[in-house]
Amino acid sequence: MDTLKNKVAVITGGASGIGLASAKLFVEQGANVIVTGRRPDAVKAAVADIGPRAFGIVGDVADPGHHEAVVDAVRERFGGLDVYMANAGINTITPSPLVSEDEYDAQFAVNTRGVFFGVQKVEPLLRDGGAIILTGSIAAGKALDGHAAYAGSKAALGAFARVWAIELRERRIRVNLLSPGPTDTAILEKLGVPPEQRPAFEAGMAARIPLGRMARPDETAKAALFLASDASSFITGIDLKVDGGMTLL
């Protein structure tokens, strides 16, 4: 239970879903974790759920000033950072002819701009030998109806990871992409899947996944832990798909 003993990790979008599951697992493995999110009530609840080695910062990753506040808080409390997981993201499923400028801009602001400037701001705080994890999506490489804007915003992260893996090699900071497939999180409701339609939705997803079901958040969190820990000490610049084989079909 000490894979990340005494490490310090920041997880953006850590108040729910994959981010929250990762935060819980990191703390179980000995880390101190800072979670960020846009909703104060959700961040407060997440910190209470994770436990005493967690604290939260409210803010929008699309705002560079938020990342500066995160850096200041981490420096003051811990002095440095070992793991940065750029996990915050949004998705709306809309056919391309119907995507509005506001919808397009919102997805790129959070999913792309937020990741780029988050890493830019925290990189000086990262200790040598640290790890950066970017939460992407299999949509970046697998064509899914209504996902063009989202897929484009996530595809950029693969390029970021590869370039940063080279740029940060002298400091032995590893940069990897984590690309989940369909995952059973609250985002399904945000995408407009009502509770009464969940069984049919899940059955439809299962039929498209070789392992026959959607992922649980804790399964993706375990992959994040791998990339954050010394278990992946000779791995950088990869795209780790946690999709039950969906991209094979």
Residue 204 covered by a domain? no
Residue 62 covered by a domain? yes
Would you give per-residue pLDDT tens digits along the chain (249 residues)? 799 999 999 999 999 999 999 999 999 999 999 999 999 999 999 999 999 999 999 999 999 999 999 999 999 999 999 999 999 999 999 999 999 999 999 999 999 999 999 999 999 999 999 999 999 999 999 999 999 999 999 999 999 999 999 999 999 999 999 999 999 886 666 666 777 777 887 888 889 999 999 999 999 999 999 999 999 999 999 999 999 999 999
Instruction: Residue 94: give the domain boundaries.
Output: 8-180+215-241
Residue type, 32: N
> pLDDT of 138-194, one tens digit each?
999 999 999 999 999 999 999 999 999 999 999 999 999 999 999 988 666 666 677
For residue 40, the domain's CATH number is 3.40.50.720
Q: Is residue 104 annotated as a catalytic residue, yes or no?
A: no
Residue 30 covered by a domain? yes
pLDDT (0 to 100) of residue 198: 77
Whole-angstrom Cα distance, residue 163 to residue 213?
Answer: 34
- How many other CB atoms are there within 10 angstroms of residue 26's CB atom? 30
Residue 246 covered by a domain? no
The count of domains in the chain is: 1
Choose, from 26, 117, 150, 160, the residue flagged as catalytic.
150
**Helices 217-228/17-28 angle, 10° precision:** 50
Indicate the pairing of strand 126-135 with strand 174-180. parallel
- How many other CB atoms are there within 10 angstroms of residue 119's CB atom? 20
